[in-house]
Amino acid sequence: MSAYVIDSELFGDQFSTVEMREIFSDRQTVQAWLDVEVALAEAEADLGIIPAAAAKAIRDAGDAGDYDLAEMKLEMDKTSHPIVPLVRMIGAKCPDGLGEYVHWGATTQDITDTGMILQIRDAIDVIETRLAALAACLADHAVTHAATAMPGRTHGQHAQPVTFGYKTAIWLDEVRRHQTRIDEMRPRLLAGQFGGAVGTLAALGDQGFAVRAKLMQNLELVEPAITWHTARDRIVEMVSVLAMIAGTCGKIANELFLMTKTELQEVEEPYPAGKVGSSTMPHKRNPAICESVAGLVRTVRSSVSLAFETMVSENERDKIALNTEREFISRTICQTDAALAKTVVLCDGLDVRAANMRRNLDITRGLTLSEAVMMALGEKLGRQTAHDLLHAACMTAFKEDINMKAALMRMAEVTDVFSEDEIDALLDPEAYIGLAARMARDVAEG
Protein backbone atom coordinates (compact mmCIF):
# COMPACT_ATOMS: atom_id res chain seq x y z
CA MET A 1 0.00 0.00 0.00
CA SER A 2 1.34 3.43 -0.93
CA ALA A 3 1.62 6.24 1.58
CA TYR A 4 -0.97 8.27 -0.30
CA VAL A 5 -3.79 7.13 -2.58
CA ILE A 6 -2.90 9.35 -5.55
CA ASP A 7 0.43 7.52 -5.83
CA SER A 8 -1.13 4.08 -5.41
CA GLU A 9 -0.90 1.68 -8.33
CA LEU A 10 -4.17 0.16 -7.15
CA PHE A 11 -6.23 3.21 -6.18
CA GLY A 12 -4.51 6.10 -7.97
CA ASP A 13 -7.10 6.39 -10.75
CA GLN A 14 -9.89 6.72 -8.21
CA PHE A 15 -8.32 9.90 -6.81
CA SER A 16 -6.54 11.38 -9.83
CA THR A 17 -5.98 10.90 -13.54
CA VAL A 18 -2.98 9.85 -15.59
CA GLU A 19 -2.78 13.30 -17.19
CA MET A 20 -2.72 15.17 -13.91
CA ARG A 21 -0.29 12.82 -12.21
CA GLU A 22 2.11 13.42 -15.08
CA ILE A 23 1.80 17.20 -14.77
CA PHE A 24 2.72 17.04 -11.09
CA SER A 25 5.26 14.23 -11.30
CA ASP A 26 8.71 14.81 -9.82
CA ARG A 27 10.25 14.75 -13.30
CA GLN A 28 7.82 17.39 -14.56
CA THR A 29 8.39 19.51 -11.45
CA VAL A 30 12.12 19.53 -12.14
CA GLN A 31 11.42 20.30 -15.79
CA ALA A 32 9.32 23.30 -14.78
CA TRP A 33 12.18 24.57 -12.60
CA LEU A 34 14.60 24.07 -15.47
CA ASP A 35 12.27 25.91 -17.85
CA VAL A 36 12.33 28.91 -15.52
CA GLU A 37 16.13 28.86 -15.17
CA VAL A 38 16.52 28.62 -18.95
CA ALA A 39 14.02 31.41 -19.61
CA LEU A 40 15.77 33.59 -17.03
CA ALA A 41 19.19 33.03 -18.60
CA GLU A 42 17.86 33.82 -22.05
CA ALA A 43 16.16 36.99 -20.81
CA GLU A 44 19.38 38.16 -19.17
CA ALA A 45 21.45 37.29 -22.23
CA ASP A 46 19.08 39.27 -24.45
CA LEU A 47 19.57 42.25 -22.13
CA GLY A 48 23.37 41.86 -22.11
CA ILE A 49 23.53 40.92 -18.44
CA ILE A 50 25.11 37.50 -18.98
CA PRO A 51 26.97 36.12 -22.01
CA ALA A 52 24.90 34.61 -24.82
CA ALA A 53 27.10 31.52 -24.58
CA ALA A 54 25.99 31.05 -20.97
CA ALA A 55 22.33 31.17 -21.94
CA LYS A 56 22.97 28.57 -24.66
CA ALA A 57 24.83 26.31 -22.24
CA ILE A 58 22.05 26.58 -19.70
CA ARG A 59 19.47 25.79 -22.36
CA ASP A 60 21.45 22.74 -23.42
CA ALA A 61 21.30 21.60 -19.79
CA GLY A 62 17.55 22.21 -19.59
CA ASP A 63 16.18 18.69 -20.10
CA ALA A 64 14.99 17.03 -16.89
CA GLY A 65 15.51 13.65 -18.53
CA ASP A 66 19.26 14.22 -18.24
CA TYR A 67 19.16 14.49 -14.45
CA ASP A 68 19.36 11.74 -11.86
CA LEU A 69 16.46 12.44 -9.49
CA ALA A 70 17.78 10.02 -6.89
CA GLU A 71 21.06 11.91 -6.79
CA MET A 72 19.16 15.18 -6.65
CA LYS A 73 17.15 13.94 -3.69
CA LEU A 74 20.32 13.00 -1.81
CA GLU A 75 21.62 16.52 -2.31
CA MET A 76 18.28 18.01 -1.28
CA ASP A 77 18.38 15.96 1.91
CA LYS A 78 21.96 17.06 2.54
CA THR A 79 21.39 20.75 1.87
CA SER A 80 17.81 20.94 3.18
CA HIS A 81 17.13 22.94 0.04
CA PRO A 82 15.15 22.23 -3.13
CA ILE A 83 16.92 24.42 -5.70
CA VAL A 84 20.60 24.60 -4.68
CA PRO A 85 21.21 20.99 -5.80
CA LEU A 86 19.58 21.71 -9.16
CA VAL A 87 21.61 24.89 -9.68
CA ARG A 88 24.80 22.96 -8.94
CA MET A 89 23.83 20.17 -11.30
CA ILE A 90 23.00 22.61 -14.09
CA GLY A 91 26.30 24.35 -13.52
CA ALA A 92 28.18 21.07 -13.72
CA LYS A 93 26.72 20.44 -17.18
CA CYS A 94 27.80 23.84 -18.51
CA PRO A 95 31.31 24.01 -20.06
CA ASP A 96 33.97 26.68 -19.62
CA GLY A 97 32.63 27.99 -16.32
CA LEU A 98 29.42 29.21 -17.95
CA GLY A 99 27.42 27.53 -15.21
CA GLU A 100 28.39 30.43 -12.95
CA TYR A 101 25.60 32.41 -14.62
CA VAL A 102 22.81 30.02 -13.62
CA HIS A 103 20.18 31.51 -11.29
CA TRP A 104 21.58 35.03 -11.80
CA GLY A 105 19.72 37.48 -9.56
CA ALA A 106 17.06 34.93 -8.59
CA THR A 107 16.03 33.39 -5.32
CA THR A 108 14.70 29.90 -4.75
CA GLN A 109 11.08 30.94 -4.40
CA ASP A 110 11.23 32.71 -7.77
CA ILE A 111 12.01 29.38 -9.38
CA THR A 112 9.67 27.17 -7.36
CA ASP A 113 6.70 29.56 -7.53
CA THR A 114 7.07 30.21 -11.24
CA GLY A 115 7.61 26.53 -11.94
CA MET A 116 4.49 25.76 -9.94
CA ILE A 117 2.52 28.30 -11.99
CA LEU A 118 3.70 26.62 -15.20
CA GLN A 119 2.37 23.30 -13.89
CA ILE A 120 -0.86 24.92 -12.73
CA ARG A 121 -1.32 26.42 -16.19
CA ASP A 122 -1.13 22.96 -17.74
CA ALA A 123 -3.47 21.63 -15.07
CA ILE A 124 -6.05 24.38 -15.60
CA ASP A 125 -6.05 23.57 -19.32
CA VAL A 126 -7.05 20.00 -18.44
CA ILE A 127 -9.70 21.19 -16.00
CA GLU A 128 -11.18 23.48 -18.66
CA THR A 129 -11.34 20.59 -21.12
CA ARG A 130 -13.17 18.48 -18.56
CA LEU A 131 -15.63 21.29 -17.82
CA ALA A 132 -16.36 21.69 -21.53
CA ALA A 133 -17.02 17.96 -21.83
CA LEU A 134 -19.33 18.03 -18.80
CA ALA A 135 -21.19 21.04 -20.17
CA ALA A 136 -21.71 19.22 -23.48
CA CYS A 137 -23.15 16.15 -21.70
CA LEU A 138 -25.48 18.23 -19.58
CA ALA A 139 -26.63 20.30 -22.56
CA ASP A 140 -27.51 17.10 -24.39
CA HIS A 141 -29.61 15.87 -21.45
CA ALA A 142 -31.25 19.28 -21.11
CA VAL A 143 -32.44 19.17 -24.72
CA THR A 144 -33.25 15.46 -24.90
CA HIS A 145 -35.20 15.49 -21.65
CA ALA A 146 -36.51 19.04 -21.71
CA ALA A 147 -40.07 17.75 -21.41
CA THR A 148 -39.39 14.46 -19.57
CA ALA A 149 -41.64 14.94 -16.56
CA MET A 150 -40.55 13.68 -13.17
CA PRO A 151 -41.40 14.41 -9.54
CA GLY A 152 -40.03 17.64 -8.18
CA ARG A 153 -38.96 17.19 -4.60
CA THR A 154 -38.55 19.69 -1.77
CA HIS A 155 -37.64 18.75 1.79
CA GLY A 156 -37.39 15.13 0.62
CA GLN A 157 -41.07 15.05 -0.36
CA HIS A 158 -42.86 15.18 -3.70
CA ALA A 159 -43.64 18.79 -4.51
CA GLN A 160 -44.90 19.32 -8.06
CA PRO A 161 -43.66 18.09 -11.43
CA VAL A 162 -40.40 19.24 -13.00
CA THR A 163 -38.49 17.76 -15.93
CA PHE A 164 -35.18 15.97 -15.98
CA GLY A 165 -33.95 18.42 -18.62
CA TYR A 166 -34.79 21.31 -16.30
CA LYS A 167 -32.79 19.67 -13.51
CA THR A 168 -29.74 19.11 -15.73
CA ALA A 169 -29.98 22.63 -17.15
CA ILE A 170 -29.57 24.02 -13.64
CA TRP A 171 -26.35 21.99 -13.35
CA LEU A 172 -25.24 23.18 -16.79
CA ASP A 173 -25.78 26.82 -15.86
CA GLU A 174 -23.62 26.30 -12.78
CA VAL A 175 -20.86 24.61 -14.79
CA ARG A 176 -20.81 27.53 -17.21
CA ARG A 177 -20.33 29.93 -14.32
CA HIS A 178 -17.31 27.87 -13.30
CA GLN A 179 -15.97 28.24 -16.83
CA THR A 180 -16.37 32.00 -16.49
CA ARG A 181 -14.65 31.94 -13.10
CA ILE A 182 -11.64 30.18 -14.59
CA ASP A 183 -11.50 32.65 -17.49
CA GLU A 184 -11.59 35.55 -15.04
CA MET A 185 -9.10 33.91 -12.68
CA ARG A 186 -6.46 33.09 -15.32
CA PRO A 187 -4.79 36.52 -15.57
CA ARG A 188 -4.63 36.80 -11.78
CA LEU A 189 -3.44 33.24 -11.22
CA LEU A 190 -0.96 32.76 -14.05
CA ALA A 191 1.53 35.39 -12.96
CA GLY A 192 5.16 34.42 -12.65
CA GLN A 193 7.39 35.21 -9.71
CA PHE A 194 10.70 37.06 -9.88
CA GLY A 195 12.04 39.39 -7.23
CA GLY A 196 15.26 38.06 -5.75
CA ALA A 197 16.05 37.61 -2.08
CA VAL A 198 13.37 39.85 -0.53
CA GLY A 199 11.54 40.70 -3.72
CA THR A 200 13.16 44.07 -4.46
CA LEU A 201 15.22 42.97 -7.52
CA ALA A 202 18.24 44.57 -5.85
CA ALA A 203 20.71 42.12 -7.40
CA LEU A 204 19.90 43.38 -10.90
CA GLY A 205 19.90 47.09 -10.16
CA ASP A 206 17.97 49.23 -12.62
CA GLN A 207 17.63 46.29 -15.03
CA GLY A 208 15.41 44.31 -12.67
CA PHE A 209 12.12 45.34 -14.25
CA ALA A 210 13.42 44.62 -17.73
CA VAL A 211 14.55 41.13 -16.71
CA ARG A 212 11.25 40.39 -15.02
CA ALA A 213 9.27 41.55 -18.06
CA LYS A 214 11.43 39.55 -20.48
CA LEU A 215 11.30 36.45 -18.27
CA MET A 216 7.51 36.49 -18.16
CA GLN A 217 7.37 37.09 -21.89
CA ASN A 218 9.60 34.08 -22.48
CA LEU A 219 7.39 31.89 -20.29
CA GLU A 220 4.12 33.39 -21.60
CA LEU A 221 3.06 34.30 -18.09
CA VAL A 222 1.52 37.47 -16.71
CA GLU A 223 4.04 39.92 -15.27
CA PRO A 224 3.04 40.75 -11.67
CA ALA A 225 2.81 44.34 -10.50
CA ILE A 226 5.04 43.48 -7.54
CA THR A 227 6.73 40.46 -6.03
CA TRP A 228 4.21 38.10 -4.39
CA HIS A 229 6.44 35.91 -2.22
CA THR A 230 4.11 36.40 0.76
CA ALA A 231 0.89 37.15 -1.15
CA ARG A 232 -0.74 33.76 -1.66
CA ASP A 233 -4.22 34.95 -2.57
CA ARG A 234 -3.74 33.69 -6.12
CA ILE A 235 -3.43 30.14 -4.85
CA VAL A 236 -6.26 30.59 -2.36
CA GLU A 237 -8.56 31.80 -5.14
CA MET A 238 -7.62 28.82 -7.32
CA VAL A 239 -8.32 26.32 -4.54
CA SER A 240 -11.62 28.03 -3.78
CA VAL A 241 -12.70 27.85 -7.42
CA LEU A 242 -11.62 24.21 -7.65
CA ALA A 243 -13.63 23.45 -4.51
CA MET A 244 -16.70 25.01 -6.12
CA ILE A 245 -16.16 22.98 -9.28
CA ALA A 246 -15.79 19.82 -7.24
CA GLY A 247 -18.84 20.86 -5.24
CA THR A 248 -20.93 20.99 -8.40
CA CYS A 249 -19.71 17.52 -9.33
CA GLY A 250 -20.66 16.38 -5.85
CA LYS A 251 -24.12 17.87 -6.15
CA ILE A 252 -24.72 16.14 -9.48
CA ALA A 253 -23.38 12.84 -8.16
CA ASN A 254 -25.42 13.06 -4.95
CA GLU A 255 -28.65 13.84 -6.80
CA LEU A 256 -28.13 10.99 -9.25
CA PHE A 257 -27.22 8.73 -6.32
CA LEU A 258 -30.59 9.52 -4.73
CA MET A 259 -32.40 8.90 -8.03
CA THR A 260 -30.81 5.46 -8.40
CA LYS A 261 -32.36 4.14 -5.21
CA THR A 262 -34.29 0.91 -5.72
CA GLU A 263 -37.58 2.56 -4.78
CA LEU A 264 -37.08 5.24 -7.47
CA GLN A 265 -34.83 3.84 -10.23
CA GLU A 266 -35.22 7.04 -12.24
CA VAL A 267 -31.63 6.83 -13.51
CA GLU A 268 -28.73 4.42 -13.40
CA GLU A 269 -25.07 5.23 -13.77
CA PRO A 270 -23.06 3.44 -16.49
CA TYR A 271 -22.90 -0.26 -15.71
CA PRO A 272 -20.56 -1.94 -18.20
CA ALA A 273 -20.20 -5.69 -18.45
CA GLY A 274 -18.04 -7.08 -15.66
CA LYS A 275 -18.85 -4.39 -13.10
CA VAL A 276 -19.66 -5.94 -9.73
CA GLY A 277 -21.77 -4.31 -7.03
CA SER A 278 -21.09 -6.60 -4.11
CA SER A 279 -18.77 -9.44 -3.14
CA THR A 280 -21.63 -11.28 -1.45
CA MET A 281 -24.88 -10.03 -3.06
CA PRO A 282 -24.78 -10.78 -6.79
CA HIS A 283 -27.87 -8.70 -7.52
CA LYS A 284 -26.37 -5.39 -6.39
CA ARG A 285 -25.85 -2.60 -8.95
CA ASN A 286 -24.27 -0.02 -6.69
CA PRO A 287 -23.76 3.61 -7.86
CA ALA A 288 -19.99 3.41 -7.37
CA ILE A 289 -19.15 6.41 -9.58
CA CYS A 290 -21.59 8.64 -7.71
CA GLU A 291 -20.14 7.54 -4.39
CA SER A 292 -16.57 8.07 -5.56
CA VAL A 293 -17.29 11.62 -6.73
CA ALA A 294 -19.12 12.48 -3.51
CA GLY A 295 -16.12 11.28 -1.51
CA LEU A 296 -13.63 13.26 -3.60
CA VAL A 297 -15.61 16.43 -3.03
CA ARG A 298 -15.18 16.15 0.72
CA THR A 299 -11.39 15.97 0.49
CA VAL A 300 -11.20 18.84 -2.00
CA ARG A 301 -13.40 21.00 0.20
CA SER A 302 -11.11 20.37 3.15
CA SER A 303 -8.27 22.07 1.29
CA VAL A 304 -9.99 25.46 1.29
CA SER A 305 -9.40 26.20 4.95
CA LEU A 306 -5.82 24.94 4.60
CA ALA A 307 -5.25 27.27 1.67
CA PHE A 308 -6.48 30.25 3.66
CA GLU A 309 -3.89 29.47 6.34
CA THR A 310 -1.14 30.29 3.83
CA MET A 311 -2.24 33.91 3.56
CA VAL A 312 -0.40 34.68 6.79
CA SER A 313 3.40 34.76 6.46
CA GLU A 314 6.17 36.33 8.52
CA ASN A 315 7.89 39.39 7.16
CA GLU A 316 9.18 39.03 3.58
CA ARG A 317 9.14 35.23 3.50
CA ASP A 318 8.98 32.07 5.52
CA LYS A 319 8.79 28.46 4.47
CA ILE A 320 5.68 27.47 6.39
CA ALA A 321 3.17 28.48 3.73
CA LEU A 322 5.28 27.01 0.95
CA ASN A 323 5.55 23.63 2.64
CA THR A 324 1.81 23.65 3.21
CA GLU A 325 1.14 24.47 -0.44
CA ARG A 326 3.43 21.67 -1.56
CA GLU A 327 1.09 19.23 0.15
CA PHE A 328 -2.30 20.50 -0.97
CA ILE A 329 -1.92 22.14 -4.39
CA SER A 330 -1.25 19.06 -6.50
CA ARG A 331 -3.57 16.95 -4.36
CA THR A 332 -6.46 19.38 -4.70
CA ILE A 333 -6.01 19.73 -8.44
CA CYS A 334 -5.65 15.97 -8.94
CA GLN A 335 -8.77 15.20 -6.93
CA THR A 336 -10.83 17.91 -8.63
CA ASP A 337 -9.74 16.56 -11.99
CA ALA A 338 -10.70 13.04 -10.93
CA ALA A 339 -14.13 14.25 -9.76
CA LEU A 340 -14.68 16.03 -13.06
CA ALA A 341 -13.51 13.10 -15.17
CA LYS A 342 -15.80 10.72 -13.28
CA THR A 343 -18.74 13.11 -13.53
CA VAL A 344 -18.29 13.32 -17.29
CA VAL A 345 -18.34 9.51 -17.50
CA LEU A 346 -21.37 9.44 -15.20
CA CYS A 347 -23.40 11.93 -17.22
CA ASP A 348 -22.27 10.75 -20.64
CA GLY A 349 -23.33 7.17 -20.00
CA LEU A 350 -26.33 7.88 -17.78
CA ASP A 351 -29.37 5.63 -18.30
CA VAL A 352 -32.37 7.94 -17.94
CA ARG A 353 -35.51 5.94 -17.18
CA ALA A 354 -38.34 8.21 -18.23
CA ALA A 355 -40.97 5.52 -17.69
CA ASN A 356 -40.00 5.20 -14.04
CA MET A 357 -40.07 8.97 -13.63
CA ARG A 358 -43.61 8.96 -15.00
CA ARG A 359 -44.54 6.07 -12.71
CA ASN A 360 -43.20 7.92 -9.69
CA LEU A 361 -45.28 10.98 -10.55
CA ASP A 362 -48.35 8.87 -9.79
CA ILE A 363 -47.21 7.65 -6.37
CA THR A 364 -49.15 10.38 -4.59
CA ARG A 365 -52.18 9.73 -6.80
CA GLY A 366 -52.65 13.33 -7.81
CA LEU A 367 -51.64 15.13 -4.64
CA THR A 368 -48.67 16.81 -6.29
CA LEU A 369 -51.10 18.66 -8.56
CA SER A 370 -52.71 20.47 -5.62
CA GLU A 371 -51.34 23.83 -6.77
CA ALA A 372 -52.66 23.33 -10.29
CA VAL A 373 -56.17 22.73 -8.97
CA MET A 374 -55.84 25.52 -6.41
CA MET A 375 -54.84 28.11 -9.02
CA ALA A 376 -57.67 27.14 -11.35
CA LEU A 377 -60.17 27.11 -8.49
CA GLY A 378 -58.77 30.40 -7.20
CA GLU A 379 -59.87 32.09 -10.41
CA LYS A 380 -63.42 31.08 -9.52
CA LEU A 381 -63.51 31.43 -5.74
CA GLY A 382 -60.42 33.40 -4.71
CA ARG A 383 -56.94 32.08 -3.97
CA GLN A 384 -57.13 31.74 -0.18
CA THR A 385 -60.54 30.11 -0.28
CA ALA A 386 -59.21 27.70 -2.91
CA HIS A 387 -56.14 26.98 -0.79
CA ASP A 388 -58.28 26.09 2.22
CA LEU A 389 -60.50 23.82 0.12
CA LEU A 390 -57.52 22.05 -1.45
CA HIS A 391 -55.85 21.63 1.91
CA ALA A 392 -58.98 19.96 3.22
CA ALA A 393 -59.16 17.72 0.14
CA CYS A 394 -55.49 16.71 0.51
CA MET A 395 -55.92 15.88 4.19
CA THR A 396 -58.94 13.74 3.34
CA ALA A 397 -56.94 11.91 0.66
CA PHE A 398 -54.13 11.27 3.16
CA LYS A 399 -56.34 10.09 5.98
CA GLU A 400 -58.67 7.91 3.94
CA ASP A 401 -56.01 6.67 1.50
CA ILE A 402 -57.92 7.76 -1.58
CA ASN A 403 -56.71 9.55 -4.66
CA MET A 404 -56.90 13.28 -5.21
CA LYS A 405 -59.65 13.05 -7.78
CA ALA A 406 -61.91 11.13 -5.41
CA ALA A 407 -61.35 13.68 -2.69
CA LEU A 408 -62.15 16.55 -5.04
CA MET A 409 -65.25 14.89 -6.44
CA ARG A 410 -66.70 14.85 -2.93
CA MET A 411 -66.54 18.64 -2.68
CA ALA A 412 -69.50 20.53 -4.08
CA GLU A 413 -67.45 23.72 -4.20
CA VAL A 414 -65.24 21.97 -6.76
CA THR A 415 -67.79 20.00 -8.75
CA ASP A 416 -70.02 23.07 -9.04
CA VAL A 417 -67.35 24.82 -11.14
CA PHE A 418 -65.40 21.95 -12.77
CA SER A 419 -66.56 18.92 -14.69
CA GLU A 420 -64.96 15.51 -14.15
CA ASP A 421 -63.02 15.88 -17.40
CA GLU A 422 -61.73 19.27 -16.30
CA ILE A 423 -60.59 17.79 -12.99
CA ASP A 424 -58.81 15.01 -14.86
CA ALA A 425 -57.04 17.61 -17.00
CA LEU A 426 -55.95 19.57 -13.93
CA LEU A 427 -54.52 16.39 -12.42
CA ASP A 428 -52.34 15.58 -15.44
CA PRO A 429 -48.73 15.99 -14.18
CA GLU A 430 -47.26 16.39 -17.66
CA ALA A 431 -49.53 19.38 -18.22
CA TYR A 432 -48.13 21.21 -15.17
CA ILE A 433 -44.41 21.52 -15.81
CA GLY A 434 -44.63 25.26 -16.28
CA LEU A 435 -41.79 26.69 -18.35
CA ALA A 436 -39.37 23.95 -17.35
CA ALA A 437 -38.94 22.62 -20.90
CA ARG A 438 -38.38 26.09 -22.32
CA MET A 439 -35.88 26.95 -19.58
CA ALA A 440 -33.97 23.73 -20.24
CA ARG A 441 -33.76 24.37 -23.98
CA ASP A 442 -32.88 28.04 -23.53
CA VAL A 443 -30.00 27.24 -21.19
CA ALA A 444 -28.73 24.41 -23.39
CA GLU A 445 -28.76 26.64 -26.45
CA GLY A 446 -27.24 29.58 -24.56
Q: Decide if 103 is catalytic.
A: no
Q: CB–CB of 240/189 below 8 Å? A: no
* Given 155, 279, 283, 419, the catalytic residue: 155
Q: Decide if 155 is catalytic.
A: yes
* Given 2, 81, 278, 391, the catalytic residue: 278
List, by residue number, the catalytic residues.
Answer: 155, 278
